[in-house]
Amino acid sequence: MVDAICKAHYGREDMTAAVYEANPGLAGLGPVLSKGVLIILPNAPAAPVRKPVRLWT
């Protein structure tokens, strides 16, 4: 369920570990969270700027 929340909030699921780190004890509540559970959603780190690679000049 946390991965679905991350997908809805961030648009990706790779923030799941960061959400668990920001919410100690969240994993102990089980895979399906009860209604009313408060979850802290940390800010996503800025994506690195990727420069294109030119194979031929």
Q: Tell which residue, 45, 5, 11, has the closest CA to residue 23.
A: 5
The confidence score (pLDDT) of residue 49 equals 84
DSSP 18: H
Does residue 24 sit in helix, strand or coil? coil
Residue with tokens 């895979």: 31
Please give the backbone phi and psi of residue 47, each rounded to the nearest 5 degrees, phi first: -70, 135
The confidence score (pLDDT) of residue 47 equals 76
The confidence score (pLDDT) of residue 45 equals 87
1-48 pLDDT, tens digit each: 899 999 999 998 899 999 999 999 999 999 899 999 999 999 998 877
Global pTM reads: 0.75
The Cα 42–Cα 57 span in angstroms is 42
The confidence score (pLDDT) of residue 7 equals 94
